[in-house]
Structure 1
Amino acid sequence: MTGAAELPLHDGHVPGWMLKIMKSLSGSIVKVIVEERGPEGLIKALSDPYWFQAFNNVIGMDWDSSGSTTVVLTLLKQISWSEDLGFLVLGGKGKRMLQVKDESEAAERRLGVSSDEAFRFSKVAARAASTFLQDGYDTYVHAVIVTERGPQLVIQQGMNLTSRMARRYHIDKASIEEPFSGVAGFKASVYLNATARESREARRAYVDIIAEGKERLLRLLAESNAALGAPSLLRYIEGEARARPPRAYYRPVTPTKEFVRALEKIYANPPSSEEELALTEGLGPKVLRALALIADVIYSVPTSERDPLTLSLDPFYYAYAIGGKDGVPYPFDPKTAEEALSYLARAIEESKLGSAVKLRAMARLRAFLTRQVS
């Protein structure tokens, strides 16, 4: 199940006493899942934005808070590094995003996962969510989850500074094409989506355009910019009965000094495939939009504007488990949280002793709840 959840920016911090309970609850839930399904089962669950949001609700965070991503990932990171559970969380919010490379080397020593592979996955995923997809959100959270089998999931979050809303991207493929297992947030005005399956020919065109050389690319960009000032774009859609609305990326791209320097980095090691393009130094949103503009206006190869936002059931009912820190749907209830924590702890201990009675009971409870809400 994949889905979307609205994530408005919430001010304030989780109180220390509440954060301690949240960490205990998170640790117990994670241990149950790893015991039942292994670390890969946990990562599969985290790849679903609705499961992620429900998990956030169950431990007491607000059902719709942008801060839920930071809190959940911070707790999971602390738990993963303090215990031997078969997975590790790298990166995080703000400056912690820059720790992925160093932490991937530590993860290689601990789990045997290739640090190069982990860092490559991190870079491709970051490019997918913030360069190949351009939807108006600036990245401020980036975390990679790895197991001994390798990097398996990136969770990234961006903020729209105008609307003060957040979007969370769940990326489970080391690929530019359709890399998202889910995207949570409001529907956005997507400027371009080069990750879309229908953008495959456009991505190939980007590589071909770069192969024509820097001076040729700049001339094509000038021609594209000039064409956008023409009275009509009908010459690009000859044969159609009606003109389609102009695309969001039909805006001139100014070849500033920074833009030219970015091109110089690209041409220091030009890509020969879209896989190499995803890792090319110098490629940023502005260069990508210039390539999309040239591909469409000059070569009639458009880039998709489809929003990859996924839709499903609202996870709000999970917020009734123990309440939320801001009192939605009712104030956080530490007594209920402690009872849940005690139950989970007993279930884990009994499962270690060979008795899976409580784990089976929990599975039956999940099945019953599924029937009730279907």
Structure 2
Amino acid sequence: MARRAGSADLPLHGGHVPKWLADRMTRLGAVVSEAIVHHYGRDELLRRLSHPFWFQSFGAVMGMDWHSSGITTSVIGALKRGLTPLSHELGIHVCGGRGRHSRQTPHELAAIGQRVGFDGAALATASRLVAKVDSAAVQDGFDLYLHGFFVTDEGKWCVVQQGMDGERRQARRYHWLSEGIENFVEEPHAAIDGAARGEIVNLTDRRADGSRRGQLDLLHDLGPDGIARELALLEPRAAPAQLALPHLDMPGHHDVRAEDVIAPRLHATLAAAAERGPEDFAGLLLVPGVGARTVRALAMVAEVVHGAPFRFSDPARFSLAHGGKDRHPYPVPLKVYDQTIQVLKTAVANARLGRDDELAALKRLDDQARRIDAVVGGQTLEEVIAEERLLSHGHGGRSVFGWEPPPASS
């Protein structure tokens, strides 16, 4: 049976992703996905996408607003643009999207099925069922507006869809993974992301099995006698204990604060980049312009590729790789971002030819961070952000407010 992996409260944000960032998100999302598939296989990429904490961290490392619901739309859009040209090579296909694009999912699945050989009609039915469960069987006040369907050549799939509660200005994200699903209407989710809002109608809970069967019976016997008879047969049953799930509470504030980041993990990442950078990157990759700042970003990207699930409980930390489009925690350093993409593209291209040195160097960078986690100290979060903003102009800092000006002369 598929498992629930946690929940998150996602504030709704307006605005759009500017083209200069969307294009880079497309390239970074594609090359990170390629690296994961190379190391761990495409089934693992589906598992990552079905994990709400990893998904939020992935969006943050791409330069999106680290806490907002916009990460869902932008990540799915970036992966659809970036992975579609690679689908023949990687064996992964991205369907659906926001609004009218979500309604095209069954047609896209049918077309892909004809091309690669899986049962597109069955997957189209699965897509519709997933949407129906989260819009009808789970009545939690959130109206679905986005449906992303990820499927491999073998027909394994993951769904990430999102609903909106306009009055509360909140979003809820629902994660599904085909691995282990035996029943679409009994606890099928890999995760549901959203704030607790009191009691809801959730007919997918295993404790609602009697209710589901009773409703089907009532379809055949709608008279008052039949309803009374069904009510008389209902007996109270002891409910199984609900396992405590991790809850990712994404706050409403835009700025990244100390309480949003696990400091020892940040210190470990920065220290590992400083220690392994000169050894593994300067002489190995020979990419012009790669310096200490790019290695720091690469260390966080390496964690997205290799990190264990528990390491993504503070998605805000990953916004320190490439900043954020709304200037939080600081403007997106485009020179660093472009160098990160170039290093990863070079590493993945060489790995295709059987030369794994560069990708292995990235893994060593992540391994080093784990070894020294909680052992080292370093700059406070406030000091890291202040330094980044001071150097932002030199790094090609840009946000939705424009290019970052040079710092005022002292």
What's the TM-score bracket when you normalise by the shorter of the two chains?
0.7 to 0.9
Structure 1: distance between partners of 2:171 and 2:370: 29
Q: Counterpart amino acid of 2:190?
A: S
Corresponding residue number in structure 2 for 1:299: 234
SS of structure 2 residue aligned to 1:25: helix
8 A Cα contact 1:87 1:146, kept in partner? yes
* Structure 1 residue 208, shift from structure 2 partner: 2.6
Q: List per-residue Cα deviations over 1:174-221 (Å, max 9, x = no partner).
A: 5221111112222223422111122223222222332x33x32x7767
Q: 2:127 aligns with which of 113, 116, 122?
A: 122
Instruction: Rate the CA distance shift 1:135–1:352 in 2: closer, same or farther, 3 A.
Output: same
Corresponding residue number in structure 1 for 2:195: 186
Residues 1:141 and 2:160 aligned together: no
Mapping of 1:26-105 within 5 angstroms? 26-83=29-86, 84=88, 85-105=90-110
State the number of aligned residues.
Answer: 300
Structure 2: distance between partners of 1:100 and 1:128: 16
8 A Cα contact 2:46 2:177, kept in partner? no
Instruction: Rate the CA distance shift 1:373–1:178 in 2: closer, same or farther, 3 A.
Output: farther
Structure 2: distance between partners of 1:307 and 1:365: 35
* Structure 1 residue 321, shift from structure 2 partner: 0.9
8 A Cα contact 2:106 2:125, kept in partner? no
Instruction: Rate the CA distance shift 1:9–1:297 in 2: closer, same or farther, 3 A.
Output: farther
Residues 1:339 and 2:339 aligned together: yes
Instruction: Rate the CA distance shift 1:344–1:307 in 2: closer, same or farther, 3 A.
Output: same
Q: List per-residue Cα deviations over 1:260-316 (Å, max 9, x = no partner).
A: xxxxxxxxxxxxxxxxxxxxxxxxxxxxxxxxxx97787346898x89975262321
Corresponding residue number in structure 2 for 1:157: 162
Q: List per-residue Cα deviations over 1:1-52 (Å, max 9, x = no partner).
A: 9443331111111111111111111111111112222221211110101111
* Structure 1 residue 367, shift from structure 2 partner: 3.3
8 A Cα contact 1:184 1:310, kept in partner? no
In structure 2, runs of 5+ residues without a counterpart are 249-312, 376-410
Structure 2: distance between partners of 1:60 and 1:49: 17
Instruction: Rate the CA distance shift 1:365–1:2 in 2: closer, same or farther, 3 A.
Output: farther
8 A Cα contact 2:27 2:82, kept in partner? no
SS of structure 2 residue aligned to 1:23: helix
Q: Counterpart amino acid of 1:89?
A: V
Structure 2: distance between partners of 1:132 and 1:296: 21
Instruction: Rate the CA distance shift 1:336–1:321 in 2: closer, same or farther, 3 A.
Output: same
Q: List per-residue Cα deviations over 1:59-114 (Å, max 9, x = no partner).
A: 11111111111111111112232222211111111111110121011111232221
Instruction: Rate the CA distance shift 1:208–1:20 in 2: closer, same or farther, 3 A.
Output: same
Instruction: Rate the CA distance shift 1:125–1:96 in 2: closer, same or farther, 3 A.
Output: same
Instruction: Rate the CA distance shift 1:21–1:48 in 2: closer, same or farther, 3 A.
Output: same
Q: List per-residue Cα deviations over 1:109-158 (Å, max 9, x = no partner).
A: 23222111111211221122221111110000012111122141111100
Instruction: Rate the CA distance shift 1:45–1:296 in 2: closer, same or farther, 3 A.
Output: farther
* RMSD (CA atoms): 2.8
* Structure 1 residue 373, shift from structure 2 partner: 6.5
Corresponding residue number in structure 2 for 1:275: none
SS of structure 1 residue aligned to 2:41: helix
Structure 2: distance between partners of 1:368 and 1:171: 33
Instruction: Rate the CA distance shift 1:57–1:68 in 2: closer, same or farther, 3 A.
Output: same
Q: List per-residue Cα deviations over 1:213-259 (Å, max 9, x = no partner).
A: 3x32x7767x7xxxxxxxxxxxxxxxxxxxxxxxxxxxxxxxxxxxx
Residues 1:5 and 2:14 aligned together: no
Corresponding residue number in structure 2 for 1:18: 21
SS of structure 1 residue aligned to 2:158: strand
Mapping of 1:216-365 within 5 angstroms? 216=223, 299-300=234-235, 310-311=246-247, 313-365=313-365
Structure 2: distance between partners of 1:71 and 1:93: 10
Q: Counterpart amino acid of 1:185?
A: G
Structure 2: distance between partners of 1:331 and 1:53: 19
Instruction: Rate the CA distance shift 1:170–1:193 in 2: closer, same or farther, 3 A.
Output: same
State the identity %: 34
